Amino acid sequence: MKKRYRFKLLIVALVILSPLILVFSAVESAPEPVKYGRDVLPILANNCFACHGPDEKNRKAGLRLDIEEAAKAKRRSGVAVLPGQPEKSLILERITSSEPEMVMPPPATHKQVTPEQVAILRRWIAEGAPWGRHWSFEPVVRPTLAAGGRRQPIDVLVTAGLARKGLVLQPAASPPTLVRRLWLDLIGLPPAPEVADRFAANPTPEAWERMVDDLLARPQFGEHWARMWLDLARYADTKGYEKDVGRTIWPWRDWVVTVLNADMPLDRFTIEQLAGDLLPSPTEAQVIATAFHRNTMTNDEGGTDNEEFRVAAVKDRIDTTMQVWMGLTMGCAKCHTHKYDPISHREYYSFYSLFNQTEDADRYDDSPTMEMLTPAEKAERERLQARIGELNGRLKAFPEPPAEADGWRAGRVEAVTSRYGSKTEQQADGATLVSGPNPPEEIHVVTMVPAPGMIRAVRLELLTEALPDGQLAVGRQGNSNLTLSEVLIEALDGDLVRPVAIGRARADHAEEKWPVAAAIDGDEKTGWAIESHTHEPHTAIFDLATPLTVAAGQKLRVTLSQVRGDNSSPRRFRVTTSDQDPASLALPIIPGELRRLYDDLDAAYEAQKNFSEQIVRLPIMRELATDKRRETKIHVRGNFLDPGEAVTPGTPAAFHSLPAGAPANRLGVAQWLVDRENPLTPRVWANRVWARLFGVGIVETEEDFGAQGSAPTNQELLDWLAAEYRDGGWSLKRLIRAIVLSDTYRQSSVTTEALRETDPRNLLHSRGSRFRLGAEVVRDQALAVAGLISLKMGGPPVMPPQPAGLWRTTYNRKKWIDSTGEDRFRRGIYTYLKRTTPYPSMVTFDGGSGEVCQIRRLRTNTPLQALVTLNDPVFLEAAGGLARRMVQSSSRPAARAATGLRLALIRPLRPGEAAALVALQRDAERSFVTDPGKADELISSARVEVPAGTGRAAFAAWIVVANAILNLDEFLSRV
Amino acid sequence: MKNNHESLREITRRHFFERAGLGFGALALQSLLGRDGAMAQTGNPLTPKPPMIAPKAKRIIYLHMAGSPSQLELFQYKPELEKLHLRECPPSFLEGKRFAFIKGVPKILANQFRFARHGESGQWISELLPHFAKVVDKVCLIHTVSTDQFNHAPAQLFIHTGSPRLGNPAMGSWVTYGLGSENENLPGFVVLLSGGKTPDGGKSLWGSGFLPSDYQGVQCRTEGDPVLYLSNPPGLDRNLRRRTLDTLASLNREEYRRSGDNETLTRIAQYELAYRMQISVPEAMDITREPQHILDLYGARPGYVSAAESADDPRILYKGDDPTFANNCLLARRLIEHGVRFVQLYDWGWDHHGSSPGESLDETLPIKCKQIDRAIAGLLIDLEQRGLLDETLVVWGGEFGRTPMMQNNVRTELRRGFVGRDHHTNAYTMWLAGGGIKRGISYGATDEFGYFPVENPVSIRDLQATIQHLVGLDPYRFSYPYQGLNNRLIGPTEEGRVLKGIIA
């Protein structure tokens, strides 16, 4: 136990020696001059640019303040910004005016420049009004640090920031606390107490470094850090909107985990996801990567305009791309020129046009997709295909029966009309082939001149027709189903139409509840249906009630109606008549060999269908063929139905231009984003990584590095990190390693009144950060300390228990079925995420729904969170597991309590902690002894086996204790 | 009003102050903190906050009929349709229009039910709403609501979150963010569902979007736990829960003493609130406490579990006497009485296209009307007799209206069980009642077909602005900075107007 202080002492020693550090710290001069980008621009942007900025439609008085020449230009009334002469600068005169008509910004805008801001503007003009750009658009400059320092650059820069406020770094947290912090931050799982003990025994910088490297190399690293990327990529397992049906996109999620573990450099990570398909001969993995931008939602609601939602998806890709890499919001420029950042309405659509050339179009099947076949599946598919080919080949030995045989006569078809737009054509064998559109309902009217003489029966043959893939089908519906709601036979004699009564109808095959008799009952809601054996011809015979004599010039009209409304009309049919006694007319008898062949074919098609249904099809990006490219026009006021001028593809002019040789497509955009000239990508990403490790970014508004975002609390630090990341081969692991090796990261998070006064939100890093764990980590940690967690990686999402009745989405029958076995205990990243009904405990802990790009999760602290960790069966099951580990660790209550606390908190116990839990256990046991039924209930709902030798009341009481431990503030926090 | 830069600082401060525990000396800063100031004192984001302008109503009950009921079968009597019944509609109806399902030139469909004038105000109400007809003098009917979304999910999102796309806060979230809640033991924004399905827009309709998740709607369920995970695990009774929380609090206080993190104090307070909610929520949700005459007033039946509630297709199981919606109306009154700020009801099953069984005007609409008619009238009467109607705003409506033409994509002939209308965005009827609303008036008028507004058109933005105005939130100034914009429920433009003509 004593040893754990050694590390602390070491750090304390370093801090005591801190005067040395000053030698190496960043240069700090007395009154810092005003910086345009940092100090002035935010004031102008927020108060002035809406009317005096880039947006020319709303520009007032022809004055621009966002451009140096314009702001300093001589105007009729004077000069807005006159360098060196604040008193003669109109801008100050107007801002400080006390007259309502004169004061700027006008009162109606509800904006006001504060006295401090006026002072800044005054100083800036007095200092000569030097111009510049918004800080984040300026190149990244690696701060020069005095050479020879022993301290990490991060610590030097943080210390410099602290020194301005008279603060210093805090000593390191205790070794066990540090170990827990590092594990939770790097892999999202808690260490075993023994791991912390080993480190505490020898808390050297080398041991720390070894632990860092060990964790970075674990596969759980990729799972934990993928979560950040999945939020940004708006990953979900469903398509969103009204129906919100499932989508198979988890192979992309697995790709993310894999490449994070392999430490794929950010430039490749970017290029492959945005444009992997456009790389020369892309690998399968590079195409999988493009599913990134297929995480957009698809609207399957009936009656929606697919183009509307295709456009919405493309715009979502623009918004996401700009936010994720550039930290800029482009959303406003959809409708009008951005009022604060330099992106015009036209430039938005130029950029849009780069993304507007992909094949996807809000289709139900999410095409284009890539089939993800395992080698075994590939072989199986070929086997099934070969089998069908072989059976179809054998079928050729059995030609279709002729029209005239066995007493049936063909007559001559005069016309076939189709009411709802199908096309028909007559074939030589007297059959009618249907083609063209396939409306939901169809009514075919066949007018024919029958063979002369008597008609005593009418035969309807439903014949097969080969589909493009060689499959034979009787019905026009996708699955070849066929329905006839009513069959009507009429005799035509000039203008006279007489219905012909049918005495009896029979057919060789019909579905249950859909007999052929239902097709002559006059009720359109019933009918004759064929939904099995759909790959072979079928026959119905209609015996006339009384024989019909057909005189010369008389015709027969047969109406075949399908009003079921499900597109199940016939594909090919033939009507013949007979003058023979119906009793002698038999339905065709299929020879045994042919019957077997048909049955085999049905089975083969069924097997192929089943196989095809379970194939994983991953939505991917694919560029349209050159001749199908879309022309992009401005959407006036953002409305895609109101096209304006056409635009040419390009990136916004205010930023660096496309790198030399970069193509004007998605690949070019990707190269542009990771180009060395781009200051935003490295800053935005470095800030993001920092925020994940410290709870808040150096730029707090991670989503907005534009004029309206918050300023960096320490720009030198941010730029050092950005330069380090970019110049260090874009290695995420290297960046994380540099951060967690710093003293800044390892500080104790203990807060004092004084620190709270000076650095209330710890934005200067005057102490270690302490914040609540993310939704997935809250879950994973509880399962881990319970000894329940499964570390199985990858594959389809799983369904851990959730309360019944949550999924009631319109027109979507997919059910939540609790996973069994280890899938109940998989890491949170694998929990099925349905956009309209996300997993409830995750949402309660601020997890997202994957609907739109989520740059950061705002942390809340709510009573509903308490209810989850207290009462959710998942957490109760975890309490059961933890209780078992506690009870099995010792027979002494105090030792059991200590085990539970150490498993959860890792650090050594404080005085009185174990005793408080032992007292709770004792009281709980007493109440369970008086009511043993309750002990049984609790044990069974915790789904845990009572360890041998322990009484049920006693064990139930330990579950109560474990439940308390899993709700400790310290357990739910990373400290 | 603070400027943007201050707002940004404020978000930044908010993370600290809204969590800051008891005893923190933030009082002096309160004036700087605006909407977020009040919570600084208590650590509870739902602490009541003063309105921005003089309010006319304190609370809202919003009854949304998901799928969109036909205004032409309920509120808009149009004899002209009868004259042109089953004739092709005028081409002006089709020019430049997009429909969800209508193809080609559809036929005009007459009012399918009888209409009569009711109340002193003499408003036209159809025979399908006999109880509502008796309270029509308490209500303001708006006949000219228009939207620009013609599919369910986007249109529902538009009316409730101000954007047809996902990711924006619900009206209820805005209102509770702006005003807090009057009962610290209940959620401020409660959602109740009936009709067997979640509305098309899904849970995003009561999501908090970019606002902190403290303000998201809490779906209270009438089966199982009223709030998810509210019940203690089986076998762990309330005494033992109390005992556990005491131990937990003592250990957490010790942690606070050492770490000094105010979040820890907030967490202790939130666990206590959770404990109180375990009693207060089931109590508020327990309609068996209501006397029989009140149950009868609404047509409520406690404990009834409708077969439609768990069916794959609930529509074919609809029965006129299904009391699920009525139970929810009574619950809404109870929750309002307990100080809940915003109660949102969604009733699914109002999409009467006539294209399949269970979604027709002639067969299904009368059943749905039976389910709600007595309940909505009962709600208004009950609120009034308790003196709550004056301070409670009640809103009723769908996400759009239905066309004067019959839908024709599947059938072109009129047949029993298949009478339907498509989605209509140009003009439809909603009604408001209670706090601040004129009684017994009709606002806005449509042409003789009920197709276009001819007087006082009302946009979704207008409605949103008006609702916010009525509860004391200035719709133009009430905003939240996110992603570089001062986001508002009424959107970025100034087109939304407060409808002075309906305000008493």
Question: What pLDDT digit, counting tens, does each position of B252-302 carry?
Answer: 999 999 999 988 998 998 899 899 999 999 999 999 999 999 999 999 999
State the average pLDDT over residues B467-478.
96
End position of a domain, from candidates B213, B246, B277: B277
Predicted local distance difference test score (pLDDT) of residue A26: 41
pLDDT tens digits for range B197-231: 888 888 789 988 888 777 888 888 877 788 899 99
pLDDT tens digits for range B430-441: 999 999 999 999
In chain B, which residues have their Cβ closer than 8 Å to the Cβ of A863? Answer: 270-271, 273-274, 277
pLDDT tens digits for range A461-477: 999 988 877 778 999 98
Selecting from B154, B212, B224 the residue whose C-beta is nearest the C-beta of A860 gives B212
Q: Please check the confidence at residue A975 and state whether its pLDDT lies above 60.
A: yes
Predicted local distance difference test score (pLDDT) of residue B43: 57
pLDDT tens digits for range A478-499: 778 999 999 999 999 888 889 9
Predicted local distance difference test score (pLDDT) of residue A260: 98
Assess whether B64 and B171 both reside in one domain. Answer: yes
Cα B426 to chain center, whole Å?
21
pLDDT tens digits for range A409-438: 998 999 999 998 899 999 999 999 999 989
- State the pLDDT confidence band at A339, using cuts at 50, 70 and 90: low
State the average pLDDT over residues B235-256.
97
End position of a domain, from candidates B242, B277, B312: B277
Range with the lowest mean pLDDT among A540-544, A672-676, B200-204, B231-235?
A: B200-204
pLDDT tens digits for range A269-313: 999 999 999 999 999 999 999 999 999 988 887 777 888 889 989
Assess whether B202 and B240 both reside in one domain. Answer: no
In this structure, is residue B18 part of a structural domain? Answer: yes
Predicted local distance difference test score (pLDDT) of residue A782: 98
The candidate with the shortest Cα–Cα distance to A704, out of A413, A966, A323, A372, is A323
A427 shares contact with chain B (CB less than 8 Å): no
- Is the bond preceding residue A450 a cis peptide, omega within 30 degrees? no
Range with the lowest mean pLDDT among A553-562, B108-117, B305-314?
A: B305-314
Chosen from A55, A763, A810, A934 to mutate, greatest number of chain B CBs within 10 A: A810
A304 shares contact with chain B (CB less than 8 Å): yes
In chain A, which residues have their Cβ closer than 8 Å to the Cβ of B410? Answer: 440-441, 565
Asked if B423 lies within 8 A of A303 by C-beta distance, the reply is yes
Asked if B235 lies within 8 A of A860 by C-beta distance, the reply is no
User: Minimal Cα distance from A931: which residue of B?
Assistant: B235
The type of residue at B279 is I
CB neighbourhood size of A757 (10 A): 8
Selecting from B5, B247, B260 the residue whose C-beta is nearest the C-beta of A917 gives B247
Assess whether B72 and B35 both reside in one domain. Answer: no
Q: Which CATH architecture has domain A399-590?
A: Sandwich (2.60)
Q: Please check the confidence at residue A11 and state whether its pLDDT lies above 80.
A: no
CA distance B4 to B10: 9
- Is the bond preceding residue B79 a cis peptide, omega within 30 degrees? no
Q: Which of residues 332-371 of A touch B (CB under 8 A)?
A: 332, 335, 340-341
Task: Tell me the whole-structure pTM to 2 decimals.
Answer: 0.79
Non-local (6+) Cβ contacts of B246 within 8 A are none
The type of residue at B16 is F
Range with the lowest mean pLDDT among A16-30, A96-110, B316-330, B424-438?
A: A16-30
CA distance B32 to B30: 5
End position of a domain, from candidates B277, B306, B338: B277
Predicted local distance difference test score (pLDDT) of residue B93: 83
Non-local (6+) Cβ contacts of A773 within 8 A are A184, A781, A972, A973, A974
Burial (Cβ within 10 Å: 0-12, 13-18, ≥19) of residue A372: middle
Q: Which of residues B309 and B275 earns the better pLDDT score? A: B275
The count of domains in chain B is 2
Selecting from A303, A863, A867 the residue whose C-beta is nearest the C-beta of B100 gives A303
Q: Are A705 and A136 in contact (CB under 8 A)?
A: yes
Q: Which of residues 260-299 of A touch B (CB under 8 A)?
A: 297, 299
Predicted local distance difference test score (pLDDT) of residue B42: 53
The whole-angstrom distance between B402's CA and the closest CA on chain A is: 14
Range from A239-243, A649-653, A849-853, B38-42 that averages highest in pLDDT: A649-653
- State the pLDDT confidence band at B475, using cuts at 50, 70 and 90: very high
Predicted local distance difference test score (pLDDT) of residue B166: 73
Selecting from B15, B227, B235 the residue whose C-beta is nearest the C-beta of A941 gives B235
Asked if A941 lies within 8 A of B229 by C-beta distance, the reply is no
> Domain segments of chain A: what residues?
4-26+143-215+715-723+732-771, 36-136, 399-590, 873-974
Predicted local distance difference test score (pLDDT) of residue B1: 34
Assess whether B241 and B178 both reside in one domain. Answer: no
Q: What is the DSSP string of B470-500?
A: HTT--TTT--EEETTEEE-TT-SSS-----G
The whole-angstrom distance between A576's CA and the closest CA on chain B is: 31
Mean per-residue pLDDT over chain A, rounded: 90
CA distance B419 to B405: 11
Assess whether B124 and B17 both reside in one domain. Answer: no
Q: Which of residues A395 and A691 earns the better pLDDT score? A: A691
In three-state secondary structure terms, A943 is coil
Q: Are B304 and B323 in contact (CB under 8 A)?
A: yes
State the average pLDDT over residues A812-821.
83
List the domain range (segments joined by +) for residue B20: 4-51+233-277
Asked if A870 lies within 8 A of B274 by C-beta distance, the reply is yes
Selecting from A706, A862, A912 the residue whose C-beta is nearest the C-beta of B270 gives A862
For residue B80, the domain's CATH number is: 3.40.720.10
Q: Are A265 and A888 in contact (CB under 8 A)?
A: no
Phi-psi map region of A197: left, alpha, beta (phi>0 left; psi -120 to 50 alpha): alpha
Asked if B261 lies within 8 A of A749 by C-beta distance, the reply is yes
Chosen from B29, B240, B363 to mutate, greatest number of chain A CBs within 10 A: B240
Distance (Å) of CA A459 to CA A453, A516, A540, A582: 16, 12, 6, 11
User: Minimal Cα distance from A328: which residue of B?
Assistant: B483
CA distance B504 to B501: 8
ipTM: 0.80
State the average pLDDT over residues A616-625.
95
Q: Please check the confidence at residue B20 and state whether its pLDDT lies above 60.
A: no
Q: Which of residues A338 and B193 earns the better pLDDT score? A: B193
Q: Please check the confidence at residue A610 and state whether its pLDDT lies above 70.
A: yes
The whole-angstrom distance between A732's CA and the closest CA on chain B is: 26
CA distance A474 to B40: 72
CA distance B272 to B225: 19
Q: Please check the confidence at residue B486 and state whether its pLDDT lies above 90.
A: no
- State the pLDDT confidence band at B242, using cuts at 50, 70 and 90: very high
Q: Please check the confidence at residue A1 and state whether its pLDDT lies above 80.
A: no
Range with the lowest mean pLDDT among A952-961, B77-86, B96-105, B129-138?
A: B96-105
Range from A242-256, A378-392, A646-660, A734-748 that averages highest in pLDDT: A734-748
In chain B, which residues have their Cβ closer than 8 Å to the Cβ of A696? Answer: 15
Selecting from A46, A244, A934 the residue whose C-beta is nearest the C-beta of B202 gives A244
User: Minimal Cα distance from B241: which residue of A?
Assistant: A960
Chosen from A49, A441, A524, A808 to mutate, greatest number of chain B CBs within 10 A: A808
State the average pLDDT over residues A327-344.
77
A808 shares contact with chain B (CB less than 8 Å): yes
pLDDT above 90 as % of chain A = 68
Assess whether B212 and B341 both reside in one domain. Answer: yes
